[in-house]
Amino acid sequence: MKAKQSWINQFDKPLTIAGPCSAESEKQMLEIAERLNKEYVQIFRAGIWKPRTKPNCFEGVGAIGLNWLKKVKDEFGFKIATEIANANHAKLALEYDVDVLWIGARSTVNPFTVQEIAEALRDTDKIVLVKNPVNPDLDLWIGAIERLQAQNIQNIGAIHRGFSTYKKTQYRNNPQWQIALDFMDKMPEIPMICDPSHICGNREGLFDVSQQAYNFEYDGLMIESHNNPDEAWSDASQQITPERLLEILQKLEIRKSDDDGTFYHSQLNRLRNEIDETDQAILEAISQRMNIAMQIGELKKEHNVAVFQPERWKQIRENSVREGSRLGLSEEFVDKMVKAIHQESIAHQNSIMNKENSL
Ligand SMILES: C=C(O[C@@H]1C=C(C(=O)O)C=C[C@H]1O)C(=O)O
């Protein structure tokens, strides 16, 4: 596997980026920096240009915040980070020697914006982090990284902040972990940071989401922290005090990629063999089910009956979900699984129906 980009090694693993959602005043920034624990937090973040969903919300203090960030860096020794959303932001951030620049989810969706930012940052040795796009599109996320690479930007990372959904769930932005895991599969050299604040949208879920990120061996976390969260000018509900942040960071278990012990490996191999055998049995059972469905397809063809049978399908779905829950499987999973099987089954029947009949 390709080695991780080396910029990540300058930080104690795992990396923590923390600070307010928005810079509000110099005093606020310095108070937060003072209260953040320097052993655990290596990078101080603050948004100064804020993309808001609706107009007339607080849209950030603007370039003046760069002076405050610089002060945090000089007085407390943190590296500093902010979001940039156009070429002008990029130029200003470079002028003020901001160490880490991130491209937000609403910018990652737009290749014109990413291209403009990438060109403005050409050849930079600053760290550039790319949040996932708001919509669950892996190629768009990877495409943004490739645009940066094409401008000879060497120090790149990804931030997983979850994906927008119309249907409200327990999350502000649904994590859809599989997309981030697929990203890591395709770009193993790019460090992956989790942003539990934007995934959760609340304070209560932060620990569990952070732990999950470490269970998947993410390289770090970006968590919003404010001196007075309830009074924050943006995203108050998801921010926590520096002291609460420390409690969370101290409680998290950091996972390693492997264990050298022979006992661990022999147990793991035994269990993985069991998984391989079970997977084989599942595939054979599904294949046998398809054969039966094809026989039903032949029968339907002889009798000129439609492939899709809504009543029967409804019954199968309900039975499977009920039986699955008895066996400890989630409704969401069983429903997805039977849908996939049904789709394959009707596709087979369709090809039987159409056989020798095409024009
Ligand atoms: C197999 C059939 O055809 C279709 C496929 C189904 C399945 O794979 O379970 C169920 C209902 C039909 O939509 C059938 O009618 O029983």
**Residue 252 Cβ < 6 Å to ligand 1:** no
- CA atoms of 23 and 232, how far apart (whole Å): 10
Tell me, what's the pLDDT at 276?
98
**Residue 314 Cβ < 6 Å to ligand 1:** no
- CA atoms of 193 and 270, how far apart (whole Å): 33
* 258, 260, 266, 268: CA torsion to nearest 10: -10
- CA atoms of 70 and 96, how far apart (whole Å): 7
Question: Domains in the chain, ordered, with CATH?
Answer: 6-251 (3.20.20.70), 262-354 (1.20.59.10)
Work out which ligand 1 atom sits closest to the CA atom of 292: 1
Looking at residue 236, what DSSP letter applies?
A: G
- CA atoms of 19 and 41, how far apart (whole Å): 9
**Residue 289 Cβ < 6 Å to ligand 1:** no
Residue owning tokens 């089910």:
289
Are 227 and 241 in contact by the 8 Å Cβ rule? The answer is: yes
- CA atoms of 225 and 31, how far apart (whole Å): 11
- pLDDT digit string, tens, across residues 193-232: 999 999 999 999 999 999 999 999 999 999 999 999 999 9
Q: What ipTM score was computed for the predicted complex, to two decimals? A: 0.96
**Residue 337 Cβ < 6 Å to ligand 1:** no
Are 76 and 33 in contact by the 8 Å Cβ rule? The answer is: yes
Work out which ligand 1 atom sits closest to the CA atom of 342: 8
**Residue 348 Cβ < 6 Å to ligand 1:** no
Which mutation among 291, 299, 304, 313 tests ligand 1's pocket best, with the greatest number of atoms within 8 A of CB?
313
Tell me, what's the pLDDT at 359?
67
- Nearest of 186, 177, 184, 180 to residue 208 by alpha carbon: 177
Instruction: Output the pTM of the full model.
Output: 0.88
Q: What is the mean pLDDT of the chain?
A: 96
Tell me, what's the pLDDT at 358?
65
- CA 30, 249, 45, 58 torsion: positive or negative? negative
Weakly modelled stretches of the chain, pLDDT under 50: none
Are 63 and 92 in contact by the 8 Å Cβ rule? The answer is: yes
- pLDDT digit string, tens, across residues 134-144: 999 999 999 99
